[in-house]
Amino acid sequence: MYFADRSNAGVEVIDTRTLTWKRLLPGFKGAVHNPNGTVNNNISGPDGVVSHGRWLYAGDGDSSLKVFDLDGASTAVASIPTGGSTRVDEMALTSNGKLLLAANNAEDPPFATLFAANGNAAKNSVSKIARIIVDQAIIPAGAGLSLEQPAWDPTTKRFFTSIPIIANNPTGCNYGQVSGPITCHGGVLVIDPKTVTGPTTQLSAFNPANLVESATCEAFKRARGAVPTTLELSDFISGFDYIYSHDDLMMGVNPFRVADLKSIPTIPLTRGEEEEDPEDTPKTKKPSRGSQAGSRIRA
């Protein structure tokens, strides 16, 4: 078992089979104090800790990720800055240990960093893939909002990261821009590592065009090879479910499953004119489920 111990500026290693302390992995900032004597958690460390096989990863208060080889010495084999000024905190690994997502939750605005991790390799090669930011319409700068604990889901192959407060969720709510109680709700950020590219990937608002495209794909499936002539409620339900399981921010439920929307009319589909290929017979192209990396919000 491994846990962050700021009082001793290191990660404690405990053998849970014998319930004995094994060693301390040192080299962290420790508890950093404010002028008035209180601890400044934003720049103290260690913070988040995860491990896979022989490798342990821990965040520090100087915005760095430290890497330890548990089969080697107690000192870190690497310290990788994420480019912020506050702690690298909550983090999660993929099941194979080859990708790591870590949140700088005390930054304003906060951001996450996707790393290529070591997996089961015998030598360290951890490197930064990209910084992940969230559109300021969702997490405005200066409001003190945060990204929190991520988790890896092996079924969808995505990271799920909690966002406690989202601006304008619902519309007109208070996320801290005015005095008084916070009335905005939170959500869950969904990150597909395949869509993350360096140096920065921004996740932002849902694009309604993607729902129409996804529903159209469902219409083709419903038609079983024929060309559909309408988009029906069932197409929107299935299309939204697909987006809900593949897009970037989850908030609430599928609105097309609400009873009041059961009477949604069918929508006629018209085929646009396509230029014929002179060397081939015209073919009807089935729409693909296109995506914009980090460009959708689940409603």
Over residues 95-107, the pLDDT tens digits come to 999 999 999 999 9
* Distance spanning both ends of the chain, measured CA to CA: 39
Q: Which of residues 203, 220, 248 is at a domain's end? A: 203
Q: Do 259 and 188 share a domain, yes or no?
A: no
Same domain, 116 and 254: no
Q: Do 244 and 141 have their domain in common? A: no
Looking at 169, 188, 203, the residue that finishes a domain is 203
Query: Of 12-26, 116-130, 231-245, 264-278, which range is least confident?
Result: 264-278
For residue 222, give its domain range: 208-268
In this structure, what CATH number is given to the domain that contains residue 182? Answer: 2.120.10
Structure-derived torsion over alpha carbons of residues 172, 178, 182, 187, reported in degrees to the nearest 10 = 50
The two three-digit tokens of residue 299, written as one number: 């409603």
pLDDT tier, 251 (very low <50, low <70, confident <90, very high otherwise): low
**Mean pLDDT of all residues in 259-267:** 53
Q: Is residue 297 part of a domain?
A: no
Q: How many CB atoms lie within 10 A of CB 260?
A: 7
Domain count, the chain: 2
| Residue 48 pLDDT grade (very low, low, confident, very high; cuts 50, 70, 90) | very high
Mean pLDDT computed over 158-185? 92
Does residue 151 sit in the same domain as residue 255? no
Assess contact for 148 and 133: CB atoms under 8 A: no
Please tell me the predicted confidence (pLDDT) of residue 243: 62
